[in-house]
Homo-oligomer: A and B are copies of this chain.
Amino acid sequence: MKKLISSPESVVVDALRGMAAAHPELSVDLERRIVYRARPKEHGTVALVSGGGSGHEPLHAGFVGFGMLDAACAGAVFTSPTPDQVLDATRAVDRGAGVLHIVKNYTGDVLSFELAAELAAEARIDVRTVVVADDVAVTDSLYTAGRRGTGTTVLLERIVGAAAEQGFDLDEVHALAERVAAAGRSMGIALSGATVPAAGRPTFTLGDDEIEWGVGSHGEPGRERQPMAAAPELAARLVQPLIDDGLGTGDAIVMLSGLGATPLIELYGMLAAVTPLLEQHGVRPVRVLVGDYITSLDMAGCLLTVLPVDDELLSYWDSPVDTPALRWGRS
């Protein structure tokens, strides 16, 4: 294992210290491993809390800021945050209008957020929860009952974050989140495993000419292993499962995220192969993100997420956002 780290034990806290050093607009609680906005939003506004295992950066802490999250709870690498962490974050960001929990569908995450929501209710904080389960690859995998939650989480945090900023109440914010969660679809491929620092070796290994279809973001097995192929064939086998799963048509936000070790030149090439296939299906990519948005440590590969949108969703998307990893329209 060759990594730019101090020690396997300190990797999460070291990264959080780096985030604090790079982004003075964030307030980082190193002890609790929670990242907040340095300037909390106004009283009477719904707050958004997410979190999950570390190793998926910039998700989630990179999406804390105006127009997205109010707080992100960082678990250990590929390990859920604790209920206490989530409760602390929820208490800290509540501005009297309630808190939305945004949870990727992994058993540990779901349990932590559920327990935190119960404890928050006892403290008279109004909490709603949206569970993202958008990965069409498999159901009931190693860490998850039902589908795994992945790329749609990023798009949801952005869209719902905008609505919260605009003064939507908790029921409205929650309904919008459910709508986005229901519409988004994701499918990924891995060209290599990821190496968890504490383990020191890849979660799985692939042959020189082999790829894993529908891999989980913690290296959970996907649908199958197949021989490596050229970009157009890979693109077809990424897009088809989304269509088979009832992907909507019309305008869409498309995200092609690298998994951590795949460079931009490859991702753009893959996007060129994906786009005409989506268009043939009647999906028009009107906003596109290409780069590392939800990763799996140093895994090579990519994740395709497609979210059909109407003009309303698009207007939230386009409104100002100011986070380390997504930023536009605001000085």
A99 at the interface (CB under 8 A from B): no
A298-B4 Cα distance, complex, nearest whole Å: 16
Most buried by B among A55, A231, A268, A301: A268
Contact present for A269 and B4 (CB under 8 Å): yes
Q: Closest approach, in angstroms, between the C-beta of A41 and any C-beta of chain B? A: 20
A314 at the interface (CB under 8 A from B): no
Q: Which residues of B contact A263 (CB under 8 A)?
A: 55, 57, 260-261, 292, 295, 297-298
Q: Which residues of B contact A297 (CB under 8 A)?
A: 263, 265
Contact of A21 among B260, B272, B330 (CB under 8 A): B272
A263-B78 Cα distance, complex, nearest whole Å: 14
User: Of A11-19, A151-159, A213-221, which binds chain B?
Assistant: A11-19
Looking across the interface, which residue of chain B has its beta carbon closest to that of A275? Answer: B21
Q: Among residues 1 to 35 in chain A, which have CB atoms less than 8 Å away from a CB atom of chain B?
A: 2-7, 11-12, 14-19, 21-23
Q: Which residues of B contact A262 (CB under 8 A)?
A: 4, 261, 298
Q: Among residues 292 to 331 in chain A, which have CB atoms less than 8 Å away from a CB atom of chain B?
A: 292, 295, 297-298, 300-302, 318, 320, 322, 324, 327-331
Q: Closest approach, in angstroms, between the C-beta of A63 and any C-beta of chain B? A: 12
Count class of interface residues, chain A: 35 or more
Contact of A285 among B3, B21, B208, B328 (CB under 8 A): B21
Contact present for B268 and A22 (CB under 8 Å): yes
A58 at the interface (CB under 8 A from B): yes
A264 at the interface (CB under 8 A from B): yes
Contact of A6 among B18, B62, B208, B230 (CB under 8 A): B230
A302-B228 Cα distance, complex, nearest whole Å: 28
Looking across the interface, which residue of chain B has its beta carbon closest to that of A320? Answer: B331
Contact present for B264 and A261 (CB under 8 Å): no
Contact present for A268 and B2 (CB under 8 Å): no
Q: Among residues 267 to 281 in chain A, which have CB atoms less than 8 Å away from a CB atom of chain B?
A: 267-273, 275
A265-B54 Cα distance, complex, nearest whole Å: 8
Q: Which residues of B contact A285 (CB under 8 A)?
A: 21-22
Where the two chains meet, the residues of A that have a C-beta atom closer than 8 Å to any C-beta of B are: 2-7, 11-12, 14-19, 21-23, 54-55, 57-58, 62, 191-192, 208-209, 211, 228, 230-232, 234, 260-273, 275, 285, 288-292, 295, 297-298, 300-302, 318, 320, 322, 324, 327-331
Closest 9 CB pairs of A and B: A18-B268, A260-B263, A17-B272, A14-B269, A18-B271, A18-B272, A57-B264, A22-B288, A329-B331
